[in-house]
Structure 1
Amino acid sequence: MNTQAQTSLPTIAVAMGDPSGISPELTARILAEADLRSAADYVVFGDLRLFQMGADDAGLTPDLLVIGEGDAIPAGAGKPVFVDLKNHDPADLQRGKATLAGGKAATDNFRRALRLAAAGQADAVFFTPFNKAAMRFAYPGYDDEIRFVRDAIDFEGAASEFNVLEGLWNCRVTSHIPLSEVAKNITGERILRALTLSDMNLRAAGFNPPRIAVAGINPHAGDGGNFGREEIDVIEPAVKLAKEKGFTVEGPFPSDTVFLRAKNGDFDAVLTMYHDQGQIAMKLMGFDRGVTLIGGFPFPICTPAHGTAYEIAGKGIANLGATRAALALAIKMAGEKKAA
């Protein structure tokens, strides 16, 4: 499946997410946004029948060029190209429920979008929300998107999730592991690797240099060792080494105040030690605008930070805020990549 020519605009590979939730509606809505349509070329993977259901929910008639699974993808079409995979019979659709059929369609769409980008035919990947239970039905080895991407494009390098809210980023050292295992997984090597990935992805989004704050793991950042020594023994030495390597980094700071400083403009990003330490802060500040970036791969991968919203599926009332922000970030990073 090859493009015939190159255009000056970045190309975004779009995967329609879980069909039982708001993903078909969000996909239709985002492709109807005039400013986003003019900012990039799009190749969308999904089942046209389900996409049309989402468009009907939203009261829209998006202008698309529809092609089949094996057709060549034309460049410069002037409209989004929709690759109709015919991979989910609408008769099997169960709105508001995680299903094997939905998981199969979502994983198929995502895999194809990833492989298009890995082949150099797209500059970024964007997807509307998945449901992790449905993804596991279809792909038993599915831990999270990072694991899936690694498998799909045979990638072995370091990668991480980043949460983005407008100009503020949250990076993390550990992610989808039990809280009971966090402390033993906080090492100087892992902190430095997380800072390296964070710096790289922030620069790719236009921060030069990015200012990164590092959060402690214990209450009050350990209070001088009274509440734990991870800050003294592990985090502080890692921050010192990062500074010696040229990173613009400070910390460790108490995690209950560092986001206030970042929100007020002192930092561009906060590196937290575990998943919810940053997620709670970011989602409280802007749940309906938050973006998840999967960084470290050869191309950026973006999605809204919220879930599939099964409870409002089919009602035509999905909020476009986070989806718009996620696609805008994908376009920005793809443009920077294409210009490099």
Structure 2
Amino acid sequence: MLIFTPGEPAGIGPDLAVMIAQEKTAQDLLVFADPDVLLTRAKILGLTLKISETESTSQDKSLCVYPVKIADEVVAGKLNKDNAAYVLKTLDLATQYCLDKKAQALVTGPLHKGVINQANIYQDKNGKGFSGHTEYLAQRANIDKTVMMLATEGLRVALATTHIPLSQVSKNIQTDSLTQTLHIIHYSLQGYGLQNPKIVVCGLNPHAGEDGYLGREEIEIINPLIKKLNTQGFNLVGSVPADTAFTPDALRGVDCVLAMYHDQGLPVLKTLGFKKSVNVTLGLPFIRTSVDHGTALNLAGTGNISMGSLHTAIAYAKDLINRGK
């Protein structure tokens, strides 16, 4: 069984749930959401939806739902901070369900970080606000370190840092955290059946620092770590300039590229596979995949959305389940 959390109720998450219910794929899903929100969105979309509060569905256009009560009215396309706690509750319940091994994987829909922080309902262990699914799920699972990886056909991109301001990236590229990141990527890919995964490591600075003239993180942190881990059996290449790391020749035989920050690697991946890519959290004690897009508030309730990324996230989760057997 797979769990699906639709995320922000004013966005296209409920649309995704209603539209997937029209397909046989929905028979494998347990959706954590308010049934009334889904039924209302189905009516707006002009689609048939039957709700079953069990753990399996067999009827056409039926969705198995674990009911979670919404706090306030949901208006498609209009954020409401009073419903932010509802979004986090769906994640809390879904995470615990996976930790209790009642489900094999968690597939998440898009949420809105801004409205959750506006609600002022959450601080992490460092006293910071909500920064994203990846960090939130790690804390709920009591995991110190996870890695965000996006994948599409022919390319996987993992991130050394995730949702932090660009001004803070450099000070977060440290030997200990980068060591943890590379360990998680290496052993996760091995768990996916890649015995000797080849990982390309991008430099932080332009031209990978150009021998220290454009920055010293490569000389002082990144390159020594690559050399050390390769003596321990890793298959790391780098550090390489990010502006040439994603050329076809450079990617030949590569299993994953580690980018130093969010927008160093993800624009390339999304250009290649937007609507057909998946977000995977490495290092959790359960499988978690996600769509690669945001809440698309302007499209909520229109029916004018692509199901491609949700299909990819579900298919990728099932593939990881099968690989782990």
Q: In structure 2, what is the Cα distance between the partners aligned to 1:225 and 1:265?
A: 28
How far did residue 209 of structure 1 move?
A: 2.8
| Deviation digits for residues 61-101 of structure 1 (CA, Å, limit 9, x no counterpart) | 3565x22xxxxx55x65465312223255xx1122222123
Are the aligned partners of 2:143 and 2:284 in contact in 1 as well (CA < 8 Å)? no
Q: Distance in 2 between matches of 1:44 and 1:263?
A: 41
Q: Distance in 1 between matches of 2:282 and 2:224?
A: 25
Q: How many residues align?
A: 315
Matches within 5 A, 1:32-51: 32-34=22-24, 36-37=25-26, 41-51=28-38
Give the fraction of aligned pairs with identical amino acids, expressed as a percent: 30
Aligned residue for 1:95? 76
The range that moved more, 48-57 or 232-241, is 48-57
Match of 1:86 among 39, 58, 69: 69
Contact 1:164 1:170 in 2 (8 A): yes
User: Using a 3 Å threshold, how does the CA distance of structure 1 residues 318 and 261 change in structure 2: closer, same or farther?
Assistant: same
2 CA distance for matches of 1:139 and 1:48?
24
Which residue does 1:152 correspond to in 2? 140
Cα shift readout 1:115-155 (whole Å, capped 9, x = no counterpart): 100111111111211111232226332232233224434x1
Q: Is the 8 A contact 1:162 1:172 kept in 2?
A: yes
User: Pick from 224, 235, 243: which aligns with 1:248?
Assistant: 235
State the distance in 1 between where 2:134 and 2:273 align. Answer: 24
Cα distance in 2, alignment partners of residues 264 and 241 from structure 1: 23
Corresponding letter in the other structure for 1:83: Y
Deviates more, 1:118-127 or 1:239-248: 239-248
CA drift at 1:264 = 4.8
2:286 corresponds to: 299
Check conservation: 1:25, 1:53, Cα contact below 8 A: no
Report if the CA contact (8 A) 1:21-1:95 is conserved: yes
Deviation at residue 272 of structure 1 after TM alignment: 1.1
1:24 to 5, 11, 14: 14
TM-score (norm 2): 0.88
2:245–2:251: 8 Å Cα contact kept in structure 1?
Answer: no
Distance 1:257 1:186 in 2: 21
Q: Does 1:109 align with 2:96?
A: no
**Secondary structure of the equivalent of 1:192?**
helix
- Distance in 1, matches of 2:250 and 2:9, equals 35
Contact 1:197 1:295 in 2 (8 A): yes
1:139 to 84, 102, 121: 121
1:32 and 1:273 map into 2 onto residues whose CA distance is: 40
Does structure 2 conserve the Cα–Cα contact (< 8 Å) formed by 1:26 and 1:54? no
Taking the aligned partners of 1:254 and 1:317, their CA distance within structure 2 comes to 39
Structure 1 residues 158 and 212: CA distance shift in structure 2, 3 A: same
What amino acid does structure 2 have at the position aligned with 1:209?
A: N
Deviations 1:265-292 (CA, angstroms, capped at 9, x unpaired) = 3312110111211122222222222321
User: Residue 275 of structure 2 contacts residue 306 of structure 2 at CA under 8 Å; is this kept in 1?
Assistant: yes
Q: Which stretch shifts more, 79-88 or 291-300?
A: 79-88
Secondary structure of the corresponding residue to residue 193 of structure 1: helix
- C-alpha change, 1:117 and 1:262, in structure 2 (3 Å) is farther
* Alignment correspondent of 1:278: 265
Contact 1:312 1:318 in 2 (8 A): yes
Structure 1 runs of 4+ aligned residues shifted over 4 Å read 76-80
Query: Gaps (5+ residues) in structure 1?
Result: 1-10, 68-72
Identify unmatched segments of 5+ residues in structure 2: 124-129
Counterparts in 2 of 1:51 and 1:273: CA distance versus 1, 3 Å? same
Corresponding residue for 2:104?
123
Question: CA separation of 1:291/1:58 partners in 2, compared to 1, >3 Å: closer, same or farther?
Answer: farther
Matched residue, 2:2: 12
SS at match of 2:237: strand
Structure-2 residue corresponding to 1:7: none
